[in-house]
Amino acid sequence: MAFSIDLTGRRALVTGAGQRVGLAISLALSDAGATVLANDVLPERADGTVATIEARGGKAEPAPFDVTDYDGVHAAVAALGDVDILVNNAGHAGVEGWTFNPFTKSTRDEWARYFNVNLYGVMHCIHAALPSMTARGWGRIVTIVSDAARWGEPNVAPYSAAKAGAAAFTRSIAREVGRYGVTVNNISLSTIGYEGMDETSEQGRKMLRPYIIRRFGTPDDVAPMVTLLASPMASWITGQTIPINGGYTVNQ
Protein backbone atom coordinates (compact mmCIF):
# COMPACT_ATOMS: atom_id res chain seq x y z
CA MET A 1 0.00 0.00 0.00
CA ALA A 2 1.46 3.30 -1.08
CA PHE A 3 0.28 6.63 0.23
CA SER A 4 1.45 10.22 0.26
CA ILE A 5 0.73 13.26 2.38
CA ASP A 6 -0.57 16.25 0.48
CA LEU A 7 -0.65 19.59 2.28
CA THR A 8 -1.06 21.69 -0.85
CA GLY A 9 -2.88 24.92 -0.05
CA ARG A 10 -2.15 24.74 3.67
CA ARG A 11 -0.16 27.39 5.51
CA ALA A 12 2.11 26.09 8.27
CA LEU A 13 3.65 28.30 10.94
CA VAL A 14 6.73 26.63 12.46
CA THR A 15 8.30 28.37 15.44
CA GLY A 16 12.03 28.05 15.92
CA ALA A 17 12.29 27.12 12.24
CA GLY A 18 15.78 28.50 11.73
CA GLN A 19 17.80 25.45 12.71
CA ARG A 20 17.91 21.79 13.66
CA VAL A 21 14.49 20.22 14.41
CA GLY A 22 12.55 23.30 13.31
CA LEU A 23 14.37 23.40 10.00
CA ALA A 24 13.77 19.69 9.35
CA ILE A 25 10.07 20.08 10.16
CA SER A 26 9.84 23.09 7.84
CA LEU A 27 11.44 21.19 4.97
CA ALA A 28 9.19 18.18 5.45
CA LEU A 29 6.02 20.28 5.51
CA SER A 30 7.19 22.15 2.44
CA ASP A 31 7.96 18.90 0.63
CA ALA A 32 4.36 17.84 1.37
CA GLY A 33 3.12 21.00 -0.36
CA ALA A 34 2.50 23.42 2.50
CA THR A 35 3.55 27.05 2.43
CA VAL A 36 5.85 27.39 5.42
CA LEU A 37 5.79 30.48 7.60
CA ALA A 38 9.27 30.21 9.06
CA ASN A 39 9.56 31.78 12.48
CA ASP A 40 12.72 32.46 14.41
CA VAL A 41 13.71 35.01 17.02
CA LEU A 42 16.69 35.83 14.78
CA PRO A 43 15.49 37.19 11.41
CA GLU A 44 18.55 35.92 9.56
CA ARG A 45 17.78 32.35 10.57
CA ALA A 46 14.18 32.68 9.41
CA ASP A 47 15.43 34.07 6.11
CA GLY A 48 17.87 31.17 5.78
CA THR A 49 15.09 28.61 6.12
CA VAL A 50 13.00 30.44 3.54
CA ALA A 51 15.93 30.48 1.12
CA THR A 52 16.53 26.75 1.63
CA ILE A 53 12.88 25.91 0.99
CA GLU A 54 12.70 28.10 -2.10
CA ALA A 55 15.89 26.52 -3.46
CA ARG A 56 14.09 23.15 -3.24
CA GLY A 57 11.12 24.51 -5.19
CA GLY A 58 8.87 25.09 -2.18
CA LYS A 59 6.98 28.10 -0.89
CA ALA A 60 7.87 29.93 2.30
CA GLU A 61 7.66 33.29 4.02
CA PRO A 62 9.83 34.61 6.86
CA ALA A 63 8.02 35.20 10.14
CA PRO A 64 10.55 36.63 12.59
CA PHE A 65 9.15 37.26 16.05
CA ASP A 66 9.81 36.38 19.67
CA VAL A 67 7.32 33.80 20.96
CA THR A 68 7.71 35.19 24.48
CA ASP A 69 6.24 38.54 23.42
CA TYR A 70 2.44 38.26 23.66
CA ASP A 71 1.66 41.43 21.69
CA GLY A 72 4.36 40.72 19.13
CA VAL A 73 3.05 37.21 18.50
CA HIS A 74 -0.50 38.42 17.97
CA ALA A 75 0.61 41.22 15.65
CA ALA A 76 2.79 38.86 13.61
CA VAL A 77 0.15 36.15 13.26
CA ALA A 78 -2.46 38.74 12.26
CA ALA A 79 -0.10 40.01 9.56
CA LEU A 80 0.60 36.50 8.28
CA GLY A 81 -3.06 35.73 7.63
CA ASP A 82 -4.75 32.37 8.16
CA VAL A 83 -2.60 29.65 9.68
CA ASP A 84 -3.81 26.09 9.06
CA ILE A 85 -0.97 24.28 10.84
CA LEU A 86 0.90 25.49 13.90
CA VAL A 87 4.03 23.69 15.06
CA ASN A 88 5.23 24.94 18.44
CA ASN A 89 8.89 23.99 18.17
CA ALA A 90 10.66 26.99 19.73
CA GLY A 91 11.94 25.98 23.12
CA HIS A 92 14.87 25.10 25.35
CA ALA A 93 16.16 28.14 27.25
CA GLY A 94 15.77 30.90 24.71
CA VAL A 95 18.67 33.00 23.51
CA GLU A 96 20.23 33.04 26.98
CA GLY A 97 21.07 29.34 26.81
CA TRP A 98 20.95 26.44 29.25
CA THR A 99 21.79 26.49 32.92
CA PHE A 100 22.21 23.11 34.65
CA ASN A 101 21.66 23.41 38.40
CA PRO A 102 20.15 21.46 41.25
CA PHE A 103 16.81 23.14 41.84
CA THR A 104 17.82 24.64 45.17
CA LYS A 105 20.78 26.31 43.46
CA SER A 106 18.66 27.78 40.67
CA THR A 107 17.24 31.29 40.62
CA ARG A 108 13.83 32.67 39.81
CA ASP A 109 15.29 34.37 36.74
CA GLU A 110 16.37 30.96 35.43
CA TRP A 111 12.87 29.59 36.00
CA ALA A 112 11.38 32.46 34.02
CA ARG A 113 13.64 31.79 31.02
CA TYR A 114 12.30 28.26 30.67
CA PHE A 115 8.66 29.12 31.30
CA ASN A 116 8.65 32.14 28.99
CA VAL A 117 9.77 30.12 25.97
CA ASN A 118 8.47 26.60 26.59
CA LEU A 119 5.09 27.33 28.17
CA TYR A 120 4.08 30.95 27.59
CA GLY A 121 5.48 30.89 24.05
CA VAL A 122 3.19 27.95 23.24
CA MET A 123 0.23 29.67 24.86
CA HIS A 124 0.85 32.91 22.98
CA CYS A 125 1.05 31.20 19.58
CA ILE A 126 -2.02 29.02 20.11
CA HIS A 127 -3.99 32.00 21.44
CA ALA A 128 -3.15 33.94 18.28
CA ALA A 129 -3.60 31.18 15.67
CA LEU A 130 -6.52 29.18 17.04
CA PRO A 131 -9.48 31.54 16.38
CA SER A 132 -9.08 31.39 12.61
CA MET A 133 -8.75 27.58 12.73
CA THR A 134 -11.98 27.14 14.66
CA ALA A 135 -13.77 29.67 12.45
CA ARG A 136 -12.76 27.73 9.31
CA GLY A 137 -13.43 24.31 10.81
CA TRP A 138 -9.96 22.86 10.25
CA GLY A 139 -6.62 23.09 11.95
CA ARG A 140 -3.61 21.17 13.22
CA ILE A 141 -1.50 22.08 16.24
CA VAL A 142 1.61 20.11 17.18
CA THR A 143 3.70 21.06 20.21
CA ILE A 144 7.21 19.73 20.68
CA VAL A 145 7.73 18.78 24.32
CA SER A 146 10.38 16.70 26.07
CA ASP A 147 10.84 13.41 27.87
CA ALA A 148 12.17 15.61 30.67
CA ALA A 149 8.50 16.48 31.18
CA ARG A 150 7.26 12.88 31.05
CA TRP A 151 10.11 11.14 32.87
CA GLY A 152 11.95 13.86 34.78
CA GLU A 153 15.60 14.78 34.52
CA PRO A 154 17.90 16.06 37.28
CA ASN A 155 19.28 19.60 37.23
CA VAL A 156 16.73 20.88 34.70
CA ALA A 157 13.62 20.88 36.90
CA PRO A 158 12.28 24.28 35.68
CA TYR A 159 12.63 23.14 32.05
CA SER A 160 10.87 19.86 32.88
CA ALA A 161 8.06 21.75 34.59
CA ALA A 162 7.62 24.18 31.69
CA LYS A 163 7.47 21.38 29.12
CA ALA A 164 5.04 19.40 31.29
CA GLY A 165 2.88 22.50 31.52
CA ALA A 166 2.90 22.87 27.75
CA ALA A 167 1.86 19.24 27.31
CA ALA A 168 -1.01 19.55 29.79
CA PHE A 169 -2.11 22.84 28.23
CA THR A 170 -2.15 21.23 24.79
CA ARG A 171 -4.31 18.35 26.03
CA SER A 172 -6.80 20.81 27.50
CA ILE A 173 -6.97 22.76 24.24
CA ALA A 174 -7.59 19.50 22.35
CA ARG A 175 -10.72 18.93 24.45
CA GLU A 176 -11.93 22.46 23.79
CA VAL A 177 -11.59 22.51 20.01
CA GLY A 178 -12.09 18.99 18.68
CA ARG A 179 -15.67 19.76 17.70
CA TYR A 180 -14.35 22.48 15.39
CA GLY A 181 -12.22 20.10 13.34
CA VAL A 182 -8.97 21.11 15.05
CA THR A 183 -6.59 18.45 16.38
CA VAL A 184 -3.97 19.23 19.01
CA ASN A 185 -1.11 16.89 19.89
CA ASN A 186 2.32 16.76 21.51
CA ILE A 187 5.50 15.07 20.35
CA SER A 188 7.90 14.25 23.17
CA LEU A 189 11.59 14.12 22.33
CA SER A 190 14.58 12.73 24.11
CA THR A 191 18.13 13.76 23.18
CA ILE A 192 18.52 15.02 19.64
CA GLY A 193 22.14 14.94 18.58
CA TYR A 194 23.99 18.01 17.46
CA GLU A 195 27.19 18.76 15.59
CA GLY A 196 30.23 17.74 17.60
CA MET A 197 28.32 15.33 19.84
CA ASP A 198 30.36 12.13 20.14
CA GLU A 199 28.33 8.99 20.77
CA THR A 200 31.51 6.94 21.14
CA SER A 201 33.00 9.02 23.94
CA GLU A 202 32.69 7.88 27.54
CA GLN A 203 30.08 10.55 28.20
CA GLY A 204 28.20 9.67 25.01
CA ARG A 205 28.10 5.97 25.82
CA LYS A 206 26.90 6.74 29.34
CA MET A 207 24.09 8.94 28.03
CA LEU A 208 23.01 6.23 25.57
CA ARG A 209 22.70 3.40 28.10
CA PRO A 210 18.97 3.97 28.76
CA TYR A 211 18.13 3.94 25.04
CA ILE A 212 16.82 0.79 23.36
CA ILE A 213 18.12 2.10 20.04
CA ARG A 214 21.69 3.08 20.88
CA ARG A 215 21.96 6.38 19.10
CA PHE A 216 20.79 9.91 19.64
CA GLY A 217 17.91 11.21 17.60
CA THR A 218 18.17 13.38 14.52
CA PRO A 219 15.89 16.16 13.30
CA ASP A 220 14.83 13.87 10.46
CA ASP A 221 13.49 11.38 13.02
CA VAL A 222 11.00 14.04 14.17
CA ALA A 223 9.80 15.67 10.96
CA PRO A 224 7.80 12.73 9.51
CA MET A 225 5.58 12.39 12.58
CA VAL A 226 4.89 16.12 12.61
CA THR A 227 3.94 15.96 8.94
CA LEU A 228 1.60 13.05 9.55
CA LEU A 229 -0.11 14.80 12.49
CA ALA A 230 -0.48 17.91 10.32
CA SER A 231 -2.25 15.96 7.59
CA PRO A 232 -5.85 14.85 6.96
CA MET A 233 -4.68 11.29 7.69
CA ALA A 234 -4.44 12.17 11.40
CA SER A 235 -7.96 13.54 11.75
CA TRP A 236 -8.78 11.02 14.54
CA ILE A 237 -5.63 11.63 16.59
CA THR A 238 -5.88 14.37 19.18
CA GLY A 239 -4.95 15.08 22.78
CA GLN A 240 -2.00 12.68 22.58
CA THR A 241 1.65 12.87 23.56
CA ILE A 242 3.67 10.73 21.16
CA PRO A 243 7.24 9.87 22.18
CA ILE A 244 9.99 9.90 19.58
CA ASN A 245 12.88 8.85 21.74
CA GLY A 246 14.65 5.68 20.66
CA GLY A 247 13.01 3.78 23.50
CA TYR A 248 14.37 6.03 26.25
CA THR A 249 10.99 5.54 27.90
CA VAL A 250 8.52 2.78 27.05
CA ASN A 251 4.77 3.30 27.25
CA GLN A 252 2.59 0.60 28.73
Q: Which residues are known to be catalytic? A: 159
Cβ proximity of 78 and 4 under 8 Å: no
For the sheet with 11-14, list strands across it.
Answer: 59-64, 35-40, 11-14, 85-88, 139-146, 182-189, 241-244
Which ranges of 104-218 does DSSP label H, i.e. alpha helix? 108-115, 121-136, 147-150, 157-177, 202-208
Any residues with CB less than 8 A from the CB of 149 and at least 6 apart, and which? Answer: 160, 161, 163, 164, 166, 167, 188
Cβ proximity of 37 and 14 under 8 Å: yes
Q: How far apart are CA 194 and CA 187, in angstroms?
A: 19
